[in-house]
């Protein structure tokens, strides 16, 4: 199962963007609040909240910040009511894109997402315009030094994972969404909190994008991710290592 993954190209860029996002705590706090509101304030009894807590820990969020968000979600501290809304469309280079949001104002969020697409030559579509081009997966990332490639493979497979890719950025484990929390438990028991633990959209196939289109595409992605309502942006681009290095260096 180990080896090169088309997905790693996309995740490489996603990691670079995540590292620069100044608003990451805002998005995590919103997810903690919504996850609590939709279930129980106990992560052990609320799978979505447990996932949110794991992501917050991976981002080094202070414990008291997490606790306040959970308290707000449990109804003890008021706060706005958020709902999940998904937007789909095509970006520069005919790249398929899925934008997942948590919003307390659909009109504001829809207008902002549409404006971003229009600004950079993209086009928003109706529901399921591009979703058929992606599979939903569970994704985990651990640093290289927690285990050898073979050990990580054995642990992940035993926990129920579907695939493991080890590269210079670390160990990347994927699984079915239904097995997400079982795999997370198995990995955490052995290696502690992962650097990333989330449900993602993985493209069934990718679209090769040149430098000019990639530059515009990343401007679109960055504008979307800068919006507090946007939780994640998924896309099916494939970019050569040479172009990726240029863009990451800029």
What single string gives the DSSP state of each residue in 191-247? H-S-SEEEEEEEESS-EE--HHHHHHHHHHHHHHHTSTTEEEEEE-EE--HHHHHHH
If asked whether residues 87 and 199 sit together in one domain, one would say no
Q: Specify if 59 maps to a domain.
A: no
Question: What CATH number has the domain bearing residue 224?
Answer: 3.30.70.980
The tens digit of pLDDT for each residue in 214-246 reads 999 999 998 998 899 999 999 999 988 888 888
What are the two backbone dihedrals, phi and then psi, of residue 25, each rounded to the nearest 5 degrees? -65, -40
Condensed to tens digits (0 to 9), the pLDDT of residues 10-40 reads: 554 555 555 455 478 888 999 999 999 888 8
Query: Is residue 50 one of the residues assigned to a domain?
Result: no
Higher model confidence: residue 185 or residue 81? Answer: 185
Helix, strand, coil percent content, the chain, rounded in steps of 5: 50, 25, 25
pLDDT band at 73 (very low <50, low <70, confident <90, very high): confident
Residues 141 and 174 both lie in one domain:
yes
pLDDT at 152: 97
**pLDDT, tens only, 133-162:** 999 999 999 999 999 999 999 999 999 999
Q: What is the pLDDT of residue 245?
A: 82
Task: Answer yes or no: do 118 and 97 share one domain.
Answer: yes
Whether residue 167 is found in the same domain as residue 190: yes
> Does residue 52 contact residue 67 with C-beta atoms inside 8 Å?
no
The 10s digit of each residue's pLDDT in 119-129 is: 999 999 988 89
pLDDT tens, 79-109? 667 889 999 999 999 999 999 999 999 999 9
For 95, the domain range is 83-132+205-249
Evaluate if residue 163 carries a pLDDT over 70. Answer: yes
């Amino acid at each position: 199962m180990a080896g090169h993954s088309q997905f790693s190209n996309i995740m490489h860029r996603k990691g670079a963007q995540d590292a620069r996002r100044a608003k990451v705590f805002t998005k995590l706090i919103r997810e903690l609040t919504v996850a609590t509101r939709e279930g129980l304030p106990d992560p052990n009894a609320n799978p979505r909240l447990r996932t949110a807590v794991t992501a917050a820990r991976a981002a080094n969020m202070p414990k008291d910040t997490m606790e306040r968000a959970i308290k707000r979600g449990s109804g003890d501290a008021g706060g706005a009511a958020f709902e999940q809304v998904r937007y789909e469309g095509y970006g520069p280079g005919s790249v398929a894109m899925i934008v997942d949001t948590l919003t307390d104002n659909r009109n504001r969020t829809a207008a902002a997402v549409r404006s971003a697409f229009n600004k950079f030559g993209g086009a928003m579509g109706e529901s399921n315009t591009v979703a058929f081009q992606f599979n939903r997966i569970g994704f985990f990332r651990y640093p290289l030094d927690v285990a050898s490639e073979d050990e990580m493979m054995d642990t992940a497979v035993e926990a129920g994972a579907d695939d493991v890719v080890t590269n210079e950025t670390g160990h990347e484990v994927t699984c079915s969404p239904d097995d997400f929390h079982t795999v997370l438990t198995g990995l955490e028991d052995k290696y502690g909190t992962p650097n990333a633990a989330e449900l993602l959209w993985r493209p069934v196939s990718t679209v090769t994008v040149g430098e000019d289109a990639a530059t515009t595409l990343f401007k679109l992605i960055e504008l979307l991710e800068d919006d507090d309502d946007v939780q994640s942006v998924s896309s099916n681009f494939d970019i050569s290592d040479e172009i990726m290095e240029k863009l990451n260096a800029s």
